[in-house]
Chains A and B, each alone.
Chain A
Amino acid sequence: MLSPETVLVLNATGAAIVQLCDSNRTIAEISAELRGQFDQVADGDVQSFVAALVTKHSMEVSHG
């Protein structure tokens, strides 16, 4: 992911989360989908990952 002065290199799980962020799915829906793909998805993991990217302005929350 590119931001003005940094390049964030996502690992496979990070990339899986970002791919599901389509401005329609909620965090809960993304977590649920990931549970189908991965053995374990801890409560709050997706939320804290996305929140960190939002703080960095790498992602925006769609309120639609």
Chain B
Amino acid sequence: MDKPYGLLAELTYACPLHCSYCSNPLQLDDYRDELTTDEWQRVFTEAAELGVLQLHLSGGEPLQRHDIVDLVQHANQLGLYTNLITSGLGLSTRRAEQLRAAGLDHVQLSIQADDQELSDLIAGTPSFERKQVVGKLVKQLGWPLTLNVVLHQQNIDRISGILEMAETMEADRIELANTQYAGWAGLNQAALLPSREQLERAEAVVQAAQERLGDRMDIIYVLPDYYSKYPKPCMDGWARRQFTVVPNGEALPCPAAHEVARGLKIPPASVREHSLEWIWEEAPLFQQFRGDAWMPDPCRSCDRKEIDYGGCRCQAFALTGDAARTDPVCHLAPDHGLVEAALAAANDPARPTTQPLIPRPQVGRTKRSTTPVPATNGKTHVTLSSTVLKGKSS
């Protein structure tokens, strides 16, 4: 069996930002019983023993964890490469220096837009200025700086300005990733999906920038799979190279697999009850789509099955209600009509220029309360109550 290279540790779903493209699960309140410092450190130790080389510390906002420095230090002592994926909020000079001393290898800073007003609007909170300060801080402390931009209908026309800003910030890498429609992004898909025209313009700008900047800044452009002929090789194959542990200790083959597990009625395996080795090798959810025995046609007989592994299981579930279907993004998929319908809506000349977005709400961490969860059966678009539309959290 393949050994995992990477562990994504979603330390907490608490986050000061409210981005409507967030891939966190809709049932944020189910994950409030977060692993303790000791528990996370044990997870990192077991991950290193399992062969993991890279540890991605994410969330939510990982800096919301008061023990982030201790967690980084422990991972560093295990020899893991540590990558902090952050909004920048909560990274004071003092904390940054502590993280540097603890051995943090890399900082990936999220960017919403190059314009303060739009950036703060997308993030749902003032954060643009702080991100500029954090970018400088990261460079001053000698870390390589990666900017991470999730692209969608609201910011894709600003790629040129975003790239200029990245140059000014002396970013070493910038990742321009079109939205994956998981979690809150799935709810907002109709409003977030850019038009074909927008994409073509964006790709031309990216290509010109790549030629102009050469090796000064590494520009990674993640194609929007809705507009692709074939699906993306999601996670490089289910439970093949990487996995995720979410705030309450449940282990998932991918960060968006909460819904798949729920849909299949497979009880999630928790690091509180099982070793990572057992989870990786034996847990039913990890075994479910490993290899190609599960594949239906057209995947089963397709010569690309070792290239794209049947695409994204979570997307198949979100769109068809059955995680074992071929990813509807594939032009050969029996359910491709679902994606074509979404594309037709996104490219309809009568499409309103601005559509309402549902912000990802804040999640409480100490006391139990209920965040209204939009009902979804994974198949049809949901009707939203006015409470949810306002993003009210409790």
Contacts of B5 in A (CB 8 A): 7
Closest chain-B Cβ to A61's Cβ sits at a distance in Å of: 9
Contact B6 A4 (CB under 8 A): no
Contacts of A54 in B (CB 8 A): 215
> Which single member of A7, A55, A57 contacts B53 (CB below 8 Å)?
A7
The answer for the CA separation of A5 and B83 in the assembled complex, in Å, is 8
Q: Does B31 contact A (CB under 8 A)?
A: no
- Contact A57 to B83, CB < 8 A, known contacts A4-B173, A5-B175, A7-B53: no
> Which single member of B53, B106, B215 contacts A4 (CB below 8 Å)?
B106
Interface centre among A5, A55, A56 (most CB of B within 10 A): A5
Contact B54 A7 (CB under 8 A): yes
Chain B 161-177 interface mask (CB, 8 Å, partner A; 1/0): 00000000000110100
Contacts of A57 in B (CB 8 A): 144, 172-173, 215, 218
Q: Does A2 contact B (CB under 8 A)?
A: yes
- Contact A55 to B215, CB < 8 A, known contacts A2-B81, A7-B5: yes
Q: Does B108 contact A (CB under 8 A)?
A: yes
Interface size on A, residues (CB 8 A): 8
| B:116-162 near A, CB below 8 Å | 144, 146
Closest chain-B Cβ to A60's Cβ sits at a distance in Å of: 9
Chain A 28-64 interface mask (CB, 8 Å, partner B; 1/0): 0000000000000000000000000011110000000
Contact B6 A7 (CB under 8 A): yes
Residue of B nearest to A55 (CB): B215
Closest chain-B Cβ to A27's Cβ sits at a distance in Å of: 15
A-B contact number at CB 8 A: 29
Contacts of A2 in B (CB 8 A): 53-54, 81
Residue of A nearest to B215 (CB): A55
Closest chain-B Cβ to A15's Cβ sits at a distance in Å of: 15
The answer for the CA separation of A57 and B54 in the assembled complex, in Å, is 17
The answer for the CA separation of A9 and B53 in the assembled complex, in Å, is 12
Contacts of A56 in B (CB 8 A): 218
Contacts of B56 in A (CB 8 A): 5
The answer for the CA separation of A54 and B378 in the assembled complex, in Å, is 43
Closest chain-B Cβ to A8's Cβ sits at a distance in Å of: 10
Residue of A nearest to B218 (CB): A57
Closest chain-A Cβ to B379's Cβ sits at a distance in Å of: 32
Closest chain-A Cβ to B160's Cβ sits at a distance in Å of: 21
Contacts of B220 in A (CB 8 A): 5
Residue of B nearest to A60 (CB): B215
Contact B218 A55 (CB under 8 A): yes
The answer for the CA separation of A41 and B108 in the assembled complex, in Å, is 38
| B:206-227 near A, CB below 8 Å | 214-215, 218, 220
Chain B 1-19 interface mask (CB, 8 Å, partner A; 1/0): 0000110000000000000
Contacts of B6 in A (CB 8 A): 7
Contacts of B83 in A (CB 8 A): 4-5
Closest chain-B Cβ to A6's Cβ sits at a distance in Å of: 9
Contacts of B81 in A (CB 8 A): 2
Contacts of A7 in B (CB 8 A): 5-6, 53-54, 241
Closest chain-B Cβ to A10's Cβ sits at a distance in Å of: 13
Chain B 90-116 interface mask (CB, 8 Å, partner A; 1/0): 000000000000000010100000000
The answer for the CA separation of A4 and B177 in the assembled complex, in Å, is 15
Contacts of B106 in A (CB 8 A): 4
Contacts of A5 in B (CB 8 A): 56, 83, 108, 175, 220
Closest chain-A Cβ to B237's Cβ sits at a distance in Å of: 14
| B interface, CB within 8 angstroms of A | 5-6, 53-54, 56, 81, 83, 106, 108, 144, 146, 172-173, 175, 214-215, 218, 220, 241
Q: Which 3 A-B pairs have the closest CB atoms?
A: A7-B5, A2-B81, A55-B215
* 5 sampled A-B residue pairs with Cβ under 8 A: A4-B83, A4-B146, A5-B83, A5-B175, A7-B54
